[in-house]
Amino acid sequence: MKVPLGITTLHLSQRNALLLLLAVGLLGFGGYDYVQQSQAVDNAVPVQATITDSSVDRMDGGRGIDYEPEIRYTYQYQGETYTSEQVFPSTGVRTYSDRSRAESVVESYEPGTTARAYVSPADPDDAFLIRERTPWPLQAIAVGGFLSVIGVLSGLGAKNPGQQELRPASEVQPAPRETWVDSHGETIHRLSKQGLSVCFVGFWLSLVALVFGLLNTTGGFEGPPQDIQAAFLGPVGLPMLAGFSFWVGMILSVCLYGVWSFTKYRQLRQRLSAPKPPSPFRHPSRVVTILGTDDGDLSEYGQRVRLTGWAWMIAVGMTGALAYLLYTAG
pLDDT at 148 over 90: no
Say whether 262 sits in a helix, a strand or coil: helix
For residues 134 and 68, give the distance between their C-alpha atoms in angstroms, rounded to a whole number: 13
Burial classification of residue 206, based on how many CB atoms lie within 10 Å of its CB (0-12 exposed, 13-18 middle, 19 or more buried) = buried
Average pLDDT over residues 84-109: 83
The answer to whether residues 263 and 181 touch, using CB atoms and an 8 Å cutoff, is yes
For residues 16 and 21, give the distance between their C-alpha atoms in angstroms, rounded to a whole number: 8
* Model pLDDT, residue 48: 93
Q: Percent of the chain at pLDDT above 70?
A: 85
Instruction: State yes or no: cis peptide before 176, omega within 30 of 0.
Output: no
* Model pLDDT, residue 12: 64
Give the lowest-confidence range in 159-163, 206-210, 219-223, 295-299: 219-223
Say whether 150 sits in a helix, a strand or coil: helix
Say whether 111 sits in a helix, a strand or coil: coil
For residues 46 and 224, give the distance between their C-alpha atoms in angstroms, rounded to a whole number: 36
2-20 per-position pLDDT tens digit: 555 554 555 666 777 787 8
Average pLDDT over residues 118-145: 86
- Give, in order, the Cα–Cα distances in Å from 275 to each of 121, 248, 289: 67, 41, 20
Average pLDDT over residues 23-42: 85
* Model pLDDT, residue 8: 52
Residue ranges of alpha helices (H) inside the chain are 14-43, 99-106, 136-156, 180-183, 185-218, 237-269, 284-291, 300-329
Say whether 290 sits in a helix, a strand or coil: helix
* Model pLDDT, residue 1: 56
pTM of the model: 0.65
Q: Which residue type, as a one-letter code, is found at position 286?
A: R
Average pLDDT over residues 96-121: 88
For residues 280 and 289, give the distance between their C-alpha atoms in angstroms, rounded to a whole number: 9
* Model pLDDT, residue 221: 45
* Model pLDDT, residue 135: 79
169-224 per-position pLDDT tens digit: 777 776 667 788 888 889 999 999 999 999 999 999 999 998 888 777 655 545 44
Q: Which residue type, as a one-letter code, is found at position 3?
A: V
User: Mean of the per-residue pLDDT values for the chain?
Assistant: 83
pLDDT class for 154, splitting at 50, 70, 90?
Answer: low
pLDDT class for 91, splitting at 50, 70, 90?
Answer: low
Residue 96, beta-bridge partner list: 67
